Structure 1
Amino acid sequence: MARAPLPIRDGLGPDRIRMPAGQPSVTVVDYLLGQHPGEDWDTRLGAGEVVDEHGRVVDHTTPYQPTRFVYFYREPAPEVPVPFAVDVLHRDAGLVVVDKPHFLATIPRGAHIRETVVVRLRRDLGLPDLVPVHRLDRMTAGVLLCTADPALRRPYQEMFEKQRVRKTYEAIAPALADGEFPRTVRSRIRKVHGELTASEEPGEPNSETLIELGERRGALARYRLRPRTGRTHQLRLHLNSLGAPIVGDNFYPEFRRRDPNDFTDPLRLLARSLEFDDPLTGEPRRFESRRTLEY
């Protein structure tokens, strides 16, 4: 996708609207006022903050442009602040590695816009081009790799796509009375778009996790998880399938809603480390979280 004609502001890029064909509108403003009346177009137009896809400022006389885009800044709805910091583990000219806290989303999406790793880092580090090259769930903490130079995105993204990154996670879950460890769990995971939870179903496995047992403490244990694949909620599902759902998991085995103001019961899942051979230099690299999981 081409770069947006408006710059990143306060960590956020502009929104855009496509002007469809077949509209009776004479001007761009006619269309915006008619189809999106809830927006404060007068203020944006007065500030010169509505532009077409070539960066030309839109005013009340700008002719309607069917199939083209108009860009503008939108103020997100208020969000509950996540009271935990994003810690920087490594930063160089193009690579930023951070220690993501629980409860903070990786990228702007849905109800989580400003309270995301991407928006915080773009704003706080002054890096408008920063993007993650992989994802961590909002409820998962730990090591997250980002690039700050668009030219570097593809090489690092391909590491993950081609499974050239060695990932180690930790989880706190019930201690199993039986079962041998280490053990490999394979299953077929299905995630339907729009549904919050994923499920395991019969068929050819498309996910694989090596699970190792660490220390036991009463009824709970610390597990090391080494996924070979990266399916949605894979680690949660694989531990749950053994009868050991992760402590703090509100999705499995049964979904329960969380109070958005409650930050006291995180999912006890941590992306402990990432290891890989740097795609640019070939140098072995390893990054490890400084966070701990509490029982």
Structure 2
Amino acid sequence: MTRAVPPLPARDGVAASRLWLPAGDWPDLASFLAARFPHLDAGVWVRRFANGEVLDELGQPLRADTPYRAGRCLHYYREVPLERVVPFSETVLYRDARLLVVDKPHFLATIPSGKHLHQTLLMRLRKSLDLPQLTPIHRLDRETAGVMLFCVDPASRGAYQTLFAERRVAKTYEAIVHHRARLSLPRVHRSRLVERDDSFVMHEVDGEPNSETRVELIATTGDTARLRLMPLTGKKHQLRAHLAALGVPIVNDRWYPRLLPDGPDDYDRPLKLLARSIAFTDPFSGEACRFESGRSL
């Protein structure tokens, strides 16, 4: 049975990653970590050991030549070399003892993932507001801007997440899309969305629908249209996939209807998708809450 090991304190807003050592015959810790993370240059672990950044369960630094012992617990703090600064700022819309509501900019990831760590909304807020236990209640794509909810008090997070699970949160988005005059609006689009086998993007397949979005027309300008989107469900990339399937993909979308080659962000061409507002009844106060983004497309 795995022993209970208390978490180590965060460093610069980053929680320590925890790794239980599996059965194996590696001679030392450095050999195991090089095999466990083959995508990292071997020099990364040499430097981390030298700087005392690989720790035991008590937070004590370990040596690279420490003999390997299955079942022990290692801690290390994740890092992203040469992380690019996102030159846009978030705005706090509301804060109390339980809830934090933020207006997220385009290009900023919600949580650490891949090549994004400190330049994520969660890490920025933990540091700038001195809230080391802050956690997101839901998520937005990195490319999407707008209203996001975070929980200040970990014990309260479940109650807010239940609102989303039970579809008691009204979310409204706006998008600018490549217009198709023959598309009849308003409409409700339902489909079954699954991830493709060959990539991380979603596509529609036959079967029982697992996603639903109401689409309304706000205005048209030339060959583009501004739409209001009200998703009932929250599948990955739902709005982007639904609009692409309807033949009206979002302007500047590099993933839908087709995945373009990866490249650096073009800050002059943000995805034209905004989480405009979010509304719900607070599970603790019973008050009706509505928060709206101050951003525009």
Instruction: Give me the TM-score of the superposition, normalised by structure 2.
Output: 0.88
Amino acid at match of 1:57: Q
Partners of 1:95 and 1:145 within 8 A in 2: yes
Pick from 161, 164, 170 the counterpart of residue 166 of structure 1.
170
Say if 1:62 and 1:24 are closer, same or farther in 2 by CA, change over 3 A.
closer
Say if 1:194 and 1:70 are closer, same or farther in 2 by CA, change over 3 A.
farther
Partner of 1:57: 60
1:222-233 map, 5 Å: 222-233=226-237
After superposition, the C-alpha distances for 1:135-176 in whole angstroms (9 at most, x for unaligned) are 100111100100121111111111111211100000001233
Q: Deviation at 1:62?
A: 7.5
Amino acid at match of 2:87: P
- Bigger CA drift: 133-142 or 236-245? 236-245
Amino acid at match of 1:179: L
Say if 1:136 and 1:41 are closer, same or farther in 2 by CA, change over 3 A.
closer
Partner of 2:140: 136
Pick from 4, 7, 10 the counterpart of residue 5 of structure 1.
7
Say if 1:179 and 1:72 are closer, same or farther in 2 by CA, change over 3 A.
closer
Residue 43, structure 1, aligned to residue 50, structure 2: yes
Partners of 1:94 and 1:149 within 8 A in 2: yes
Measure the CA separation in 1 of the matches of 2:75 and 2:119: 22
Partners of 2:90 and 2:121 within 8 A in 1: yes
Residue 71, structure 1, aligned to residue 75, structure 2: yes
Say if 1:41 and 1:171 are closer, same or farther in 2 by CA, change over 3 A.
closer
Q: Deviation at 1:7?
A: 1.2
After superposition, the C-alpha distances for 1:184-212 in whole angstroms (9 at most, x for unaligned) are 00111111477221111111111110001
SS for the counterpart of 1:79 is: coil
User: Aligned pair count?
Assistant: 284
Partners of 1:4 and 1:14 within 8 A in 2: no
Measure the CA separation in 2 of the matches of 1:245 and 1:278: 34
Q: Deviation at 1:41?
A: 4.2
Residue 153, structure 1, aligned to residue 151, structure 2: no
Q: Deviation at 1:290?
A: 0.4
Percent of counterpart pairs with the same letter? 49
Say if 1:194 and 1:32 are closer, same or farther in 2 by CA, change over 3 A.
farther
1:93-108 map, 5 Å: 93-108=97-112
Question: Gaps (5+ residues) in structure 1?
Answer: none
Partners of 2:171 and 2:275 within 8 A in 1: yes
Partner of 2:187: 183
Amino acid at match of 2:29: Y
Amino acid at match of 1:18: W
Partners of 1:5 and 1:51 within 8 A in 2: no
SS for the counterpart of 2:243 is: helix
Residue 20, structure 1, aligned to residue 27, structure 2: no
Residue 273, structure 1, aligned to residue 273, structure 2: no
Partners of 1:80 and 1:261 within 8 A in 2: no
Instruction: Give me the TM-score of the superposition, normalised by structure 1.
Output: 0.89
After superposition, the C-alpha distances for 1:52-110 in whole angstroms (9 at most, x for unaligned) are 33x25255598754223211224322122111001111111221110111111101011
Residue 195, structure 1, aligned to residue 202, structure 2: no
Q: Deviation at 1:50?
A: 4.0
Partners of 2:19 and 2:73 within 8 A in 1: yes
Partner of 1:32: 30
Say if 1:193 and 1:96 are closer, same or farther in 2 by CA, change over 3 A.
farther
- Bigger CA drift: 6-15 or 145-154? 6-15
Amino acid at match of 2:100: V
